Amino acid sequence: MRIIGSSRPAKATMPLGAAVVLASALAGLTGCTRAKAKPELACTVLELRGDPASRYYDAVVRVDRVTLPDAAKIGLRVLTPTSSFELSTLRFTAEGRDPSRLEPGETFVVPLVRPDWKLSIVGAEAALWTDNFWDLLPPNDRWHPTKTEAMAVASSAPVVNVRGVLKPVPTSLPAEWRRAEETEPTADTALGSSVYRKVRGGRVVEQVEFQYVRLTEEQKSLLASGLTTDFLGDWSDCAKNGGAAATVAGHQAIVCDLEGTGDFGWTYRFFYIDSNVLVGADVQSDPQELGKTDAQKDLERRTDQVFLRYGYGPVGAEEWQVMIELRMNRTGGFHKRSRAGEVVDKDFRVGDDEFAAVEKALADNGFWTLESRSGIGSGFESFLAVQTDVQVRTVAMKNVRDAGFESIASMVRRIVLPKVEENGMQPKVR
């Protein structure tokens, strides 16, 4: 298998749970293999031409062999890690006798988007031909999982003691990252695991999975008598199937470069030992994260997911209960219901500056550290619920005034109520 610096990515292998075979500690998982190109179609990527418009490349592809029962171009698609095209819509620079059918000797051009490194031609049911042109790209244009935030997270996770459990924990998580799953070792199962994810707009865009297990006394003795990489090579399927020795974050490690596996088409896996704990890590990232601007990331966050709910009441002689919802896409809804059952619903939209003002109010008033409070007796009640890709929190106030909470609530009212012509819904907060 290829490690960083060699010419071609390696083929797929099994997932992390099956790769660590540490003496009855890890359970094997189903293997994963990469689909092989079928013999009915063979092509060659002749060259990558620079494209000033995309600031990347166009792939020039020659058809070498076609034995398909039905080679109609309109029934075939060309796929890259970022794009999909119907073959018939691509520009052909050389065509055969029948332009509607794919024939040997034809050449066509595939517009690539950074960081595309492979392409396939697929029929109705399966891939007919696949080629990886990673080695044709200049080194600076070669995408790799090690060039991602996920790798930074995975390589900055020393083994620490957390409430008596030795496990890898990232020293700090970048924005948008959170710990999504955690399974600690038990008396029956020595294996522990944790998953950290970068989520945007409700979609996972990067992920790191750790699995870890403490070495037995016998294994410690075995490790002390030889090289760490030899020990890892003996105990991991990854090493047996082509892993290589490397240094990762100061640790002697075995690494496996698994192009063709995982949700994003490429997994970087490594194993190391820290504080007598064997750690395995799978690093995965959406290739399109590379070079993505802050504006593009912000646009992805603008889903119809509700960002903030602010409820309060009763208000006025009719004792209205009011609910304001603000979504990530800057739309929202104003809802009120009177004690007699009358209902009013109105929609609104806020500008980017107004949305930013709400976010600033939350930050400036320490919303994520506010605690719910309740006064004596009945009276005015309100709550704020905020959901981001990273966390969810609800704070409620009952017949009591908190300056930080009221500052946020007041900002929401000042922005929203004039838009829905409901200035009469300003509460009298004591």
Residues 381 and 343 in one domain: yes
Range with the poorest average pLDDT among 147-156, 307-316, 370-379: 370-379
| Structural domain includes residue 138 | no
Tell which phi-psi region holds residue 296, choosing left (phi > 0), alpha (psi between -120 and 50) or beta: alpha
Tell which phi-psi region holds residue 328, choosing left (phi > 0), alpha (psi between -120 and 50) or beta: alpha
| Structural domain includes residue 3 | no
Tens of pLDDT, residues 355-368? 999 999 999 999 99
Quote the mean pLDDT of the chain. Answer: 85
Residues 240 and 156 in one domain: yes
Helical ranges in 213-370 per DSSP H: 217-224, 228-235, 237-240, 294-301, 352-364
Q: Of 69, 90, 125, which residue is a domain's last?
A: 125
Residue 206 is encoded by which pair of tokens? 């990067």
pLDDT-derived band at 39 (thresholds 50, 70, 90) equals low
Tens of pLDDT, residues 201-236? 878 999 999 999 999 898 888 888 877 877 887 666
pLDDT of amino acid 14: 45
Q: Of 243, 262, 289, which residue is a domain's last?
A: 289
Give the E-state strand segments of 72-141 in sequence order.
77-79, 84-86, 91-94, 107-111, 118-122, 127-132
Residues 219 and 163 in one domain: yes
Residue 199: pLDDT above 50?
A: yes
Residue 231 is encoded by which pair of tokens? 């020990």
Tens of pLDDT, residues 309-351? 999 999 999 999 999 999 988 999 999 999 999 999 999 999 9
pLDDT-derived band at 281 (thresholds 50, 70, 90) equals very high
Please state the pTM of the whole predicted model: 0.69
Count Cα neighbours of 390 within 13 Å in the Cβ-side half-sphere. Answer: 8
Stretch 137-158: mean pLDDT = 93
Sequence-ordered list of residues with C-beta below 8 angstroms from that of 147, at least 6 positions apart, any chain: 290
Residues 225 and 100 in one domain: no
Tens of pLDDT, residues 233-277? 766 677 677 788 889 988 988 999 988 888 888 999 999 999 999
Helix H or strand E segment including 65: strand 56-66
| Structural domain includes residue 263 | yes
Residues 252 and 153 in one domain: yes
Residue 32: pLDDT above 80?
A: no
Task: Round to whole Å and give the CA distance between 88 and 75.
Answer: 8
Answer yes or no: are the C-beta atoms of 228 and 219 closer than 8 Å. Answer: no
pLDDT of amino acid 118: 92
**Residue 192: closest CA among 210, 218, 216, 173:** 210
| Structural domain includes residue 245 | yes
Residues 27 and 63 in one domain: no
Residue 10: pLDDT above 80?
A: no
CATH of the domain at 63: 2.40.30
Answer yes or no: are the C-beta atoms of 315 and 204 closer than 8 Å. Answer: no
Residues 152 and 104 in one domain: no
Residues 315 and 345 in one domain: yes
| Structural domain includes residue 414 | yes
Residues 110 and 207 in one domain: no
Helix H or strand E segment including 415: helix 403-416
Stretch 19-34: mean pLDDT = 38
Instruction: Please name every residue paired with 397 in a beta bridge, in sequence order, or none if there are none.
Output: 373, 382
Residues 155 and 231 in one domain: yes
Q: Of 60, 94, 125, which residue is a domain's last?
A: 125
pLDDT-derived band at 16 (thresholds 50, 70, 90) equals low
Residues 278 and 375 in one domain: no
| Structural domain includes residue 135 | no
Sheet holding 266-274, edge to edge: 177-183, 192-200, 203-214, 277-285, 266-274, 251-259, 244-248
Which residue segment(s) compose the domain that 333 sits in?
A: 302-425
Instruction: Tell me the CA distances in angstroms from 336 to 171, 320, 350, 379, 429, one per residue in order.
Output: 46, 6, 19, 18, 18
Sequence-ordered list of residues with C-beta below 8 angstroms from that of 200, at least 6 positions apart, any chain: 176, 297, 300, 301, 389
Residue 159: pLDDT above 50?
A: yes
Number of domains making up the chain = 3
CATH of the domain at 420: 3.30.1560.10
| Structural domain includes residue 430 | no
Stretch 47-63: mean pLDDT = 94
Stretch 165-176: mean pLDDT = 91
Instruction: Please name every residue paired with 184 in a beta bridge, in sequence order, or none if there are none.
Output: none
| Structural domain includes residue 7 | no
Task: Round to whole Å and give the CA distance between 58 and 50.
Answer: 6
105 DSSP assignment: T
Q: Which residue has the higher pLDDT, 263 or 26?
A: 263
**Residue 344: closest CA among 352, 330, 332, 333:** 333
Residue 102 is encoded by which pair of tokens? 């794919």
Residues 330 and 309 in one domain: yes
